[in-house]
Amino acid sequence: MFPNVHSVLGFVVRSSAVLLLCAPYVGCGDDDNNNVADAGGSTGGDGGGGGGETFTFRGTLVPVLATDTTAPIANPHLIELLSPTTGLPLVPPITSMSAPVTGAIDITGPKGRLLTYVHGAGTGENSTVDTVLDGDASKYTDPLVRISSKGLAGLAQGSGDYTPMPDRASMFGAIYWVQNGARKGTVACAKVYIDGATAPDLDQSQRYTAASGLPVPLAMQSETGAGGVFYFGNAKVGAHTLKVSLDDGKTMTTETPVYIPFPNSAAKSEQKSVSVQMAIYMEANSNPTLPTCMPK
């Protein structure tokens, strides 16, 4: 259903640490030709695009470690479509519940960029974390909607050496290169800049992921690895613009919007944690990763 932050590092998933970030916007395939189409992290309108056209997504809500539908999340979860420019519910509201026992999802909404909000639910270590997905569901073909549990949510905070702020939310994604709209692979040795900045945004706890699949301090990883993954542990609520550079900020490319609709404190989940997930797409005739790149 969602933009494929491909196996977090573009590799076969090896551990629960990697799978922590393999959430609903993350397809857990093992190569760059799996069944998840490129999606609208960088395209689409305000949620009402497509001239009134609608799209019905059918999938299955599964734990973050799942690779198939054999063990769905049996506890029903509320799924709500939000505006990608205001973070507010669509008018009229569009909601759905995942089915009990089977975890089946069936929701119809307008084509174009939307925020798909999966409300966290349950209690204890298996309770799920609020997840917001920024993209165009009509372009996704992965039927698995993955959501993390409370028991795994704290790993990224520890590895990334940051403290979540109640008035912020986490946000992560991956950079892909596409040719004629078709996703070809991830972009390594790239740096992401937010809202016109020309340096890493320390206030928003900017990080990149190490070989473990978890975010680490910039001193350990200052650019994307082989999977093209970037991370903001404390993104501010509201609209943001992300740009990518392959030359330490001298040249910027690929302007991509993302919207953080609400902070951790507003989460429905017991964990009081919000994860916003998206993807950045670079149109190119060949992989833009520089030949001198030696990704960690």
Confidence of residue 181 (pLDDT cuts 50, 70, 90): confident
For the chain, give the longest Cα–Cα distance: 52
Distances (CA, A) of 235 to 7, 50, 94, 202, 203: 22, 30, 26, 10, 9
Question: Which sequence spans correspond to the domains of the chain?
Answer: 7-283
Distances (CA, A) of 129 to 2, 39, 133, 169, 284: 17, 23, 13, 12, 35
For 116-143, write each residue's pLDDT tens digit.
Answer: 999 999 988 778 999 998 988 766 556 8
Identify the pLDDT of residue 16: 35
The highest-confidence range among 39-53, 131-145, 176-190, 235-249, by mean pLDDT, is: 235-249
Say yes or no to pLDDT of 180 above 80: yes
Please name the helix (run of DSSP H) or strand (run of DSSP E) that holds residue 59, with its range, or none.
strand 54-63
The highest-confidence range among 17-26, 29-38, 151-160, by mean pLDDT, is: 151-160
Comparing 110-114, 142-146, 192-196, 212-216, the range with the smallest average pLDDT is 142-146
- Cα separation, 35 vs 160, in Å, equals 31
Confidence of residue 154 (pLDDT cuts 50, 70, 90): confident
Identify the pLDDT of residue 130: 94
Identify the pLDDT of residue 51: 53
Which one has a higher pLDDT value, 244 or 145? 244
Please compute the mean of the pLDDT values over residues 9-21 and round it to a whole number: 33
DSSP category for residue 203: T
For 235-275, write each residue's pLDDT tens digit.
Answer: 999 999 999 999 999 999 999 999 999 999 999 998 899 99
Task: Using CA atoms of 192, 228, 262, 49 in order, give the dihedral in degrees to the nearest 10.
Answer: 90
Task: Using CA atoms of 55, 60, 65, 66 in order, give the dihedral in degrees to the nearest 10.
Answer: -110
Please compute the mean of the pLDDT values over residues 47-57 and round it to a whole number: 68
Residue partners of 291: CB distance under 8 A and separation at least 6: none
- Cα separation, 67 vs 27, in Å, equals 9
Identify the pLDDT of residue 291: 93
The highest-confidence range among 13-22, 59-68, 132-141, 187-196, by mean pLDDT, is: 187-196
Q: CA angle at residue 205 from 199 to 206, to 5 degrees?
A: 50
DSSP secondary structure string, 143-198? -EEEE-BHHHHHHHHHHHT----TTEEEEEEEEEEEETTEEEEE--S-EEEETT-S
Average pLDDT of every residue of the chain:
82
